[in-house]
Structures are given as structure tokens and as C-alpha cells.
A and B are shown apart, each in its own frame.
Chain A
Amino acid sequence: MDGMILTLILLAPLAGMALILLLPDRDEQSTNLPAWLALLTSLFTFACTLHLPAHFVAHQTGFQFEENLAWINSPAIRYHVGVDGLSLWLVVLVGLLAPVGVLASWRAVKKDRKLFYALFLLQQTAMVGVFVSLDLMLYYGFWELSLIPIAVLTAMFGRNLGDASAAKAALRFFLYTFIPSAPLLVALLWLYAHTGSFDYATVQAAIASGTLPGWQLAWVSVAFLIAFAVKVPVLGLHGWLPDLFSEAPVAIAMIAAGKLGLYSLIRFHVELFPALAHRAAPWMIALAAVGILYGALLALVQKDFWKLLAYATLGSLSFCTLGIYGFTAAGMSGAVLQTLNEGIIGAALFLLFGVLYEPASASKLADFGGLATKTPRLATLFTIASLALIGLPLLNGFVGEFLVLSGTFTGVSRVWATVAALGVILSAAYMLGAIQKIFLATGAPAHATGHAAGHPSATARDLTGSETVAVALLALLMLALGIQPGLATDAIEPALQSITQSLRMGAQSRNAANLSPTHPESATVIASSPANLKGGR
């Protein structure tokens, strides 16, 4: 079972997709059979992904559940998959978010359901594939595959099809993500030409040996970096994010940003090119720290909730980038944790506001108000998710942010950490502001915002039973990860340890100036602290 589980996880959504496509067309309008099939498929896949943490051997470095089969002889592309602590929970997250996405689309998608759910499941396979591929070409295939359904579904099922803005958003996403993919492919081929292999470990060893031509390798790493940074997105490359969040179907928007890019940054940039990642680190840290503030400030003044969520997401993803490029154990663990958090919280918020958005297609904050009494369950869960997003202790967002910030502060740069921490203040302001504008009294006279027919506040409905269960589960997960982050970090940490170790060695042999641009003495603090820290309990 262990040997086949990853293949099963990859194939299950494809099987569901095939089944959905085989459904007769004529029932399309009357029944929601495709959605049911998609739900069953995604639940089954989720159950399969749960097999991974159940049988994962913690505190063991290296990949587990590996499968390594010959696929194409020349060029040597193998079907090589496996997970380690880094990808483990991300796979589970993809499994978890799929049923949530199906629920979020349940009422929103009214036509061409077959196509929608088929592509949705294809997207799921592609994302799992990205996390488990250990062959660079296989990885690239899944990476590209994961971009296509997003663009197609946004163009076809976008929320504002009438004014063609959905198509624009899709095109923008497509251009943003596909243009950097071309250099990525070239870079992959270059690596193959010089190492004769697409195998992750082989390529990694070849790069570590230092025999590859230096400046070309640097360009290769830059190609990798940019392709992933766009997908995260990192500040400056986020042009697609607000549009996609406003236009894409809810189920697609909730998975579009974050984890794929961040995972790839760690696995295929930091771990693959440790020395070169060091050189990029000061820039990435600066971009991330500024990005946190930038996202928070812009979220503060948005009038549209989707846009607000987009900039909030930009801010919270910047936390991840900050943690990754700080190269501290705490920071990187926090970054991976925060990636999970962002996925969970974002999904909850998307689903919840999607319910409010759907009847009247209204997303302006000013259109709502006073919904707390009308939609109590939605309001409660929305508040919990918002509190998790703004990093309230005992909810998951806090642990991730704290680890990233403390890692950055003690190990990298006090200045950037302080700048990033300012975002904590602002996040409370915009999220609570949004809660007030949606759910609490807005002070406007009742007849102006009105509860007249057709008004968003009048047509809003509370969550259905299944939606409540789904989001409540997400909320429980937020609480669980907030109280026992060890659930996730225990698996993540050993995987990161090898990375940070090789990074530190690389840093010492290279120039230490890149590591701690502002506080040289902080490195000694880290070095001297373990003895003290051990007793810190």
C-alpha cells in the first residue's frame, strides 16, 4: 500500500474526471451529478492523502512512500515520486481543500458543470504532482499542468463574464505565469545537458559538487526563482493576484496563490541552489518585509472584499517568503506552517464570502452591513477565520507569524523583522474593519443601504449544513494548529534541518556578509544560544 499510495492519490482525481466526462450531457441542467461525483472523488482522495501522515515516519530525513519507475528512456525521464516532511502536509492540504472547493462551487457553478468539475479535478492532480515529483521533468509537467485549469476555468467560469473582465484576468494570469515558465524549461534542459539526469537527487548533487559552470548556473537559478516568485506571488510580481481573486471562481481562487510557489521556492530554489539562494536572500527578504507592509496598507483602503483578501494574502504570503529566505530553522518551519495556514484560512474566507457574494454578485464592502443577526453561523466562522488571519494567539496564524518573525529577528535582520511586525498592527485594522462593514451596524440609515429586495444584505443566506461542517472543520484545524503546531512542525522540521545545515555550511564557506546584512553579531547569538535554549521549557 505504501508503495502505491502516491500514485493512487494522483490517479484518483483523474479517474473521477473521466467518470464525470462520461456522464450523459442531457442531465446537466437538472441534476448536480458532476458535483456529487467530484465531491466523492475529492473525499476519497482526501482519505488517501490522510494515509500519508498516518504512516509517515517522523524524524527521518529523506523521502518516503517513494516510487521510482522508468518512464522515458531518452531523454531519461522517470516517474519518480515521494514525499518528505516538507511536502507531506501540503499534499494533505490539497486533499482537504478539494472537497471544500467543490462545496464552494456547489451553487455558484450553474452551467457546464461537467467541464468545471473535470478541470477542477485535473487541477488537483496537477497540484499533488507538483508536491510529490522528484524528477525535474515530471515536476515541470505537473507545474505547467497546474497553471492551465486555473486560466481556463477563470476565463470560462469567471464571476463577471458579462464585461469580459474574467477573460482579462485569465489572460493576465496566463501571461504572468507562462512567460517565466519558458526560461524555467530552458533552465531545466540546461541542467539536463550538464548532468545527464532529471533526477532531483542527482541534479542536486551535481550542483553541490560545484563542477557546473558558475555564471550559467546563476542564470539557471534566477530562471527558477522568477518562475516560482510569480506564482507565490512575491511583491512586484503580484499583478495577477487581485484580478484573479475578483474574477476566478471561488474554488479556483482559493488554491491559486501560495503553496505551489512557496513549496517550489524551498525545494527547487533554496534546496537545489543553496549557494545562489544565499545571494538572492537579501533581496527576497527586503521584498518580503516590504511586501507585508505593502499588502497590509493596500488591504486597509480596499472597498472590495476580494481585493482586500488579495492584498491580505499578498501580505501573509510575504511572511512565508521572509521565513524561507531567512534560512533559520524557526523561520523556515514558520514559513511552511504559514503556507498551510494561509491555505486553510484563505479557503475558509473564500468559501464564506463566496456564500455572501453569490446571490447578488456583490463584493463591495459598502453593499453589506448588519448581517450578524441574519447569518449568525457565517458571521461567527468568518470572525474566527479573520482572527486566525490576523494572528491571534491560539489560532494557527500566530504560530507561523511568530516563528517567522522571531527567526528573522534573531537570525537575520532586526530592521526587516520590525518592519514586518508593523504589518501585524495593520492586519487587525483591515480585517476587523471588514467584519464591521459586513456583519455589524454600519450607521447608514436602514432605508439607504436598505433591506429592500435585491439588496445584498436582503438576499444573503446563512450557511447550509454541509458548508457549516466544512468551515467548522477548517476552524477546528486552525485551532488545532494554533494550540499544537507540533502536529505539523514535527514532520516539517527534520526535512528542513538538512536544508538549513547545508545552507549554514555554504554560508560560512562563502561570505558571511550575505547572511546577515545588518546584524553580524546575530549569527553569534544563534550559535551560542542552543545551550541556553534547551532549558527554556
Chain B
Amino acid sequence: MNEPMLFLPLIALLPLAGFLLNGLFGSRLPKALVSTIALLFPLLSFALVARAAWMVHAGLALPVAEANAPTWIAVGTFHVGFQFVLDQLTLVMLLVVTGVGFLIHLYSVGYMEHESGYWRFFAYLNLFLFFMTVLVLAGNFLLMFVGWEGVGLASYLLIGFYIDRKSAGDAGIKAFVTNRVGDFGFLIAMFLLIAHFGTLSFSRITAQLSAHPTLTTGAATLICLCLVLGAVGKSAQIPLYVWLPDAMEGPTPVSALIHAATMVTAGVYMIARTHALFDLAPAALTVVAVIGTATAFFAATVAIVQTDIKRVLAYSTISQLGYMFLGCGVGAYSAAVFHLMTHAFFKGLLFLAAGSVIHGLGGEQDIRRMGGLRKTMPVTFWTMTAAVLAISGFFPFAGFFSKDAILAAAFQHGSTGKLLWMVGLVTALMTSFYMFRLWYLTFLGQSRAHSASDGHDHEHHHHAHESPWIMLLPLVLLALLSVCGGWIGIDRFAAFLAPATGMASAAPNAGHTELFLSVLAVLVAALGWFVAHLFFGRRTSAADDAAQRLAPLHRVLEHKYWIDEIYTSLIIRPIQWFARFGLGWLGELTLVRGSVWLLVGVTGLCGELLRRWQSGNLRSYAAWLAIGAAALLIFALAGTLLGMNSLADSIHWAVR
């Protein structure tokens, strides 16, 4: 059989080569060369992916597994290799990751131009691409875990990129450790899988499941819940979402690539990838759906009152990821992946546009001090508009199709589905509202930079300028994708993905309901826009009034429900106290040190006693000598004199 050459490992290894080149020598290379290296390797990687996509289009049968995968761990009967597999789901993910990834690399060349750690930034960015491609190409759980942890590492490094900012370092640690909580679930899930299947290979597990489903529902649920914990950590869902807003400390392209378009969707990808397990565990799926819906709603409420442009987008990301979880939870994996894809387009675009705004304003991130940028930054404005329309779900933008597919699937999903759908719809309203709020405050109206009481950023606004072409090109391309990305339609998309994700339960639906739901969704989005227009479009003080009237609610939202504070005082502090006092004082000082002191004390006491024996007096030594000799004599004689054979025996034993 003529195996097609797909060079799957190369797709991952090319960015790694870029990382190594820039990481090892970048500090000594000229900037132009650094950018060339950083762009060339992801581009080559994307070219390979595109080639693979074209071959698939030309009729290549999927999945394709790399033959002769090198062994990684082989101990006893346990065997894991560096096994790369390409199937439909992977292909979609790869296109998104390398495609959007490359665009964001391109954008970064302009955005990061004046930063000091230029080479370092691109090295990390390439490293991220390496791990992300490993994650989606992995043919088994362990290799996926490599990418899983690896993107966490890259995220940590990039969030903490500004090493002179403490908040950046804090945010990086928070992200990594929170992700580790999820990884703990992933690890346990892998152990359970080894215990039940003896393998970690996706295809083997799926084959075993379909051949003879010996797995009980309970076991499947346990495995899936552990996986969900992992997905929740990576995809920033309740209760582990707290790291994502802080992750905005990183440079904006990072937020676009890692914390919007690709890495955070890994959890969704993982659930879709392991859908065979989840299909056996309806309870776990329900958990996924509920978590997703709750997160979508919750994050949207917070996003309404945030004033930092990147934080609004961060909460919006969390909310959209919630949609994807909802999609997975109701069994509409292809819809979730569809939304994942369109979201990568429009959310990547939103962040890049926001970055362009920040860049143009010289670092200003507070939307209350923006406004009126429509004139000065037309390209950014128009692309951003496309993205806002897309995320709000207006026909015919990309977001409409994918969000609609998820909501429709939820609507048709049993009795709880209706409730989930309702919440999803309300969330869509809020999404539309806060996105247009952002849009109005940033681009329309008059510039408010002067109204700020502290006038230190006057000059920023004076210099407000459109970004260079190298930043605008990715914006335009992503805007095109945000407009057209959904036109493929969920039906065709689901049909394409079907071999990898299973047939979506909601695929064939009656036209009526479908149409009704779609119209309703668009109406809701329009309502959101309208409300936003009322509050922010005309320069009235309506928004402030509303905020004052609902002051308690506003306060709660503004402080993000005090979740960070609650976590700190309920989890982190008690652990630290327990470690410091419970273990450090009680355990270490009392038990461990105590035993040392006891040991030292007893030894010292013995020494003190025996020391007195050594009087230095010759005659006392002689006396002891004599007594000792006499005692030995008596001891030796006693046996024979008294006939105590046992004593003699014991002497024999001792001497032997």
C-alpha cells in the first residue's frame, strides 16, 4: 500500500526548530533574522497542514497514523510511543492552530517591535505552536498530555513575558498552578484508563469500546469526570476559570493566540476527541453541559461591567468557551468544534484589534478613556466591527452559524436542554450587549482621553495612529474569515467531522424549529445591540444611572463576585496555614526535631554519666579493671561450678 507522505511529525517539529534557533541564538541575531526564523517555521508547518488538507480533499482516507512511531516509554507491558495521528478533527484543529497561529506571529512582528525581549517572545511563541500541534496530533493520551502541559508552560512563559512586572509573574504562576489542578484530573483519568484498558491509545480504546463495551457506566463516568476536571482547567471553566482574566498580563498577541484562539480550546478538543467515552457517561455529559452553561452566563455578567478592554475580551472568551462546553455536553461535538473554529477567527481578531488599539494609544487599556477611534484607525475599526457582529451572532457572520448550531442542539436535548438553551439565549443577549458596549466606547463618540483627570496620557491620544500594515494584514484576513468562516454550514461541517466525532444527535432537524431558533437568536442579538446603543451609543448618562440604581449588583459584578478573594481565603490561605503551622510547627518541630532532640539528649546524658567514670585516677581504673576481671572469672566459673549448661551455651553462642 502506498502510504501518503504527510510528514506529521514535521508539522510539530518545525516550530520547535524555530524555538531552538531563536531560543539559543536569538539574543545575538539581528531582529530581522529573528522575525524571519519565527515566521518561516510556522509558515512551513502551515504549508504542510494545508498540503495535508488538500490531499484529504483529493480523497485521502483518514485517519492516517504515522507508521513506526518511535517509542517513548516502554516498561513491562506498558508501551507508549510518539504516535501522531491525523483525522478530520485534528485537521480542523491544525488548520486553525497553524493558520491563525501564523497570522498572529505575523501581527506580533509589528506589535512587539519595540519590546526588549523580542527574540525571547518569538522563541516562546514557536514553542507554544510546537506543543499545541503535538496536543492536537497526539494519537494517545500521554502524548496529548505532553502538549497539554507544554502549552501550559508556554502560556506561563508568555504571560510572565514582562519580567519586570510582578503582576505578570503572579499571573503566570496562577495560570500554571490552576492548570495543574486540571492536569491532576487528567493524570488520574489516564491511570484509570490504563487500569481498564491497558493502553492510552485513542484508537485502541475506541476499538475496545466498540468491540466489547466492558466498561461500566460508573467507571466511564469516573474517567470522564476526571477528564472534565482537566478540560475545565485548560478551558477556563467554572471553577477553574480564575487564571484566564489574569493571563491578560501577557502581550496582546499572546492573549489572542493562546488565551483565545487555541490553547484554551484544548479542553473542548479533548472532550470531542474522547467522545466515545463520554457517550457512555451521560452523567458526565450533563456535568459538562451545566458547567458550560453556567460559565457562559456567569462570565458574560462579569464582562458587562469590566473597563479594561482585554479583560472584557477575556471574560467573553470564558463565556464563549462555555458555549462550546454546552455543545459538547449536549452531544453536539461537531457544533462545539465548529464554534471553536469560528471563535478562533473572531476572538483572535478581537484581541488583535484590541492590541492594535492599545498599540495605537501607546498602552492605554481602559475603554473609558478611548472613544472616537473610528476616524483615526479605520481598518482596525472595520475589522473589529466584523468581529463584534460575528461574536454577537448576526447573520451571516461566522458566529451566527456556530452559536446557532449549539443552541439548536441544546434546544433539542431532552428536558434539561430547554433550560440550558434559555440560559444560552440570555447569555447571547448579554454577549451582544457587552460587545457593542465595547465597540461604542472604543470607536464611536468623542475621544475621552482628555476627560481623564490625570492628564498624563494626553500625548497618547494625540499620537493615536493606525497600526503598520504587518499588523493590519492579519486583521483583514481574520476579518474575512470571521465573515465567511461559517458559510460552510454546520451540516456539511458535521458530516465532514462525523468519522472523528460521531454523528451529532441534532444533525437532521426539522426546518421549522431550526428557522425559528435562528431568527430568535438574531433578534436577541439585535436587542443586545439596541440596548447597548441606548446606553452608550448616544452620549447620555444612562449607563451611569443604571449602574447607580443597581449599585449592589454593579459592585458584585465589578469585583467579579469576589471569587479570587474567596479562593484565596478558603483554599490557598488554609493550605498555607496548615503547611506552616500544622506541618511546620507540629510535624517538623515537635515530631521530627523532637526526636532529634531526644536522640541528642539521651546520647549526651549517657556521655555525661560515662565521663565521670573517667576520673583520671589510676587506682580507680585499676580497681575497675580488677573488678571486671573478677566478674569475668566468676562468670566463666559459674557455669562449671553450678552446672548451668544454658549459661555455657549462651557463652558459646556469643563467641561463635
Beyond the given pairs A393-B145, A409-B191, 10 more chain A to chain B contacts, judged by CB atoms under 8 angstroms and listed by A's residue number, are: A236-B591, A329-B75, A334-B75, A392-B150, A406-B191, A422-B184, A424-B184, A443-B166, A493-B75, A532-B197
Please report the C-alpha to C-alpha distance between residue A399 and residue B603 in the assembled complex, in whole angstroms.
Answer: 43
Contact residue among B165, B177, B194, B199 (Cβ-Cβ distance under 8 Å from A429): B177
CA–CA, A300 to B575, complex, Å? 9
Other-chain residue from A239, A328, A392, A522 in contact with B153 (beta carbon distance below 8 A): A392
Q: Does B201 lie within 8 Å of A406, measured CB to CB?
A: no
Judged by a CB distance under 8 angstroms, whether A30 is at the interface is no
25 A–B contacts, CB within 8 A, in A order: A239-B592, A239-B595, A300-B575, A300-B576, A301-B579, A330-B78, A370-B164, A373-B164, A392-B153, A393-B146, A424-B187, A425-B180, A425-B183, A428-B180, A429-B177, A436-B169, A493-B75, A529-B198, A530-B77, A530-B198, A532-B208, A533-B199, A535-B199, A536-B80, A537-B71
A294-318 to B contact mask, C-beta < 8 Å, 1/0 = 1001101100000000000000000
Interchain CB contact under 8 A, A393 and B579: no
Which residues of B are found within 8 Å of A440, using beta-carbon distances? 160, 163, 166, 168-169
**Is A532 a contact of B596 with CB atoms below 8 Å?**
no
Chain A contact residues: helix, strand, loop or mixed: helix
Q: Taking the complex as formed, is B551 at the interface, i.e. its CB lies under 8 A from any CB of chain A?
A: no
Give CA–CA (A424, B183) in the complex, Å.
9
B191 touches A405 (CB 8 A): yes
Residues of A close to B177: CB separation below 8 A: 425, 428-429, 432
Interface residues on A, range: 35 or more
Question: Residues of A with Cβ closer than 8 Å to B?
Answer: 171-172, 175-176, 179, 193, 236, 238-240, 294, 297-298, 300-301, 328-330, 333-334, 370, 372-373, 376, 387, 392-394, 398-399, 402-403, 405-406, 409-410, 414, 417-418, 421-422, 424-425, 428-429, 432-433, 436, 439-443, 483-486, 489, 493, 522, 525, 529-530, 532-537
Q: Please tell me if the beta carbons of A410 and B195 are within 8 angstroms of each other in the complex.
A: yes
- Is B200's CB under 8 angstroms from A394's CB? no
What CA separation (Å) do A175 and B606 show in the bound complex? 14
Q: Note all chain B residues with C-beta closer than 8 A to A176.
A: 596, 599
B residues with a Cβ closer than 8 A to A are 27, 69, 71-81, 83, 142, 145-146, 149-150, 153, 156, 160, 163-170, 172-173, 176-177, 180-181, 183-184, 187-188, 190-192, 194-201, 204, 208, 575-576, 578-580, 583-584, 587-588, 591-593, 595-596, 599-600, 603, 656
Residues of chain A with a CB closer than 8 A to B197's CB: 532
Question: Cβ of B187 and Cβ of A489 under 8 Å apart?
Answer: no
What 9 A-B pairs come out closest when comparing CB atoms? Answer: A443-B166, A536-B199, A329-B76, A533-B77, A532-B198, A409-B191, A529-B198, A297-B579, A393-B146
* Given A193-B656, A486-B71, A533-B198, residue A330 in contact with residue B184 (CB < 8 A): no
Q: Smallest CB-CB separation from A369: which chain B residue?
A: B166
On whether the beta carbons of A409 and B579 are closer than 8 Å, the reply is no
**CB-defined contacts of B180 to chain A, threshold 8 Å:** 424-425, 428-429
Least CB distance, B593 to chain A, in whole angstroms? 6
A489 lies within 8 A of B150 (CB): no
Shortest Cβ gap from B266 to chain A (Å): 14
Contacting residues, chain A, for B75 (C-beta < 8 A): 329-330, 333-334, 403, 489, 493
Min C-beta distance of B642 to chain A, whole Å? 27
Q: Which residues of B contact A328 (CB under 8 A)?
A: 76
Q: Are B194 and A410 in contact (CB under 8 A)?
A: yes
B578 in contact with A406 (CB, 8 Å): no
Asked if B201 and A536 make an inter-chain contact with CB atoms under 8 angstroms apart, the answer reads yes
Contacts of B656 on A, CB cut-off 8 Å?
193
Q: Across the two chains, which residue of chain A brings its CB closest to B23? A: A380
Residues in chain B near residue A417, CB distance under 8 A: 191
Determine whether the beta carbon of A425 is less than 8 Å from that of B181: yes
Closest to A300 in B: B579
- Checking B81, B208, B596, B599 against A537 with a beta-carbon cut-off of 8 angstroms, the contacting residue is B81
A537 and B79 in contact, given A175-B603, A393-B149, A485-B72 (Cβ under 8 angstroms): yes
Is there an interface contact between A393 and B583, defined as CB atoms closer than 8 Å?
A: no
Q: Which of B165, B201, B587, B593 contacts A294 (CB 8 A)?
A: B587
Of A179, A489, A525, the residue contacting B599 (CB under 8 A) is A179
A330:B190 contact, CB within 8 angstroms:
no
Give min CB distance, B73 to chain A, whole Å: 6
Instruction: Please determine whether B73 and A421 come into contact, CB atoms closer than 8 angstroms.
Output: no
B595 and A405 form a contact (CB under 8 A): no
Task: Tell me which residues across on chain B come within 8 A of A483, comparing CB atoms.
Answer: 72
A330–B599 CA distance with the chains assembled, in angstroms: 38
- In angstroms, Cα B556 to Cα A64, docked, is 71
Listed residue (A179, A238, A441, A485) with the most chain B CB atoms within 10 angstroms of its CB = A441
Provide the bound-state CA to CA distance between A188 and B91, in Å: 64
Instruction: Compute how far the CA of A536 lies from the CA of B596 in the bound complex, rounded to whole angstroms.
Output: 50
- What distance in Å separates the Cβ of B573 from its nearest Cβ neighbour in chain A? 11
Give the Cβ gap from A246 to chain B, nearest Cβ, in Å: 13
Is there an interface contact between A532 and B199, defined as CB atoms closer than 8 Å?
yes
Contact yes or no, A405 B187, CB < 8 A = yes
Measured CB to CB, the closest approach of chain B to A366, in angstroms, equals: 13
Minimum CB–CB distance from A536 to chain B (whole Å) comes to 3
CB distance A333 to B76 under 8 Å? yes
Q: Which residues of B contact A485 (CB under 8 A)?
A: 72-73
**How far is A239 from B599 in the complex, measured between Cα atoms in Å?**
11
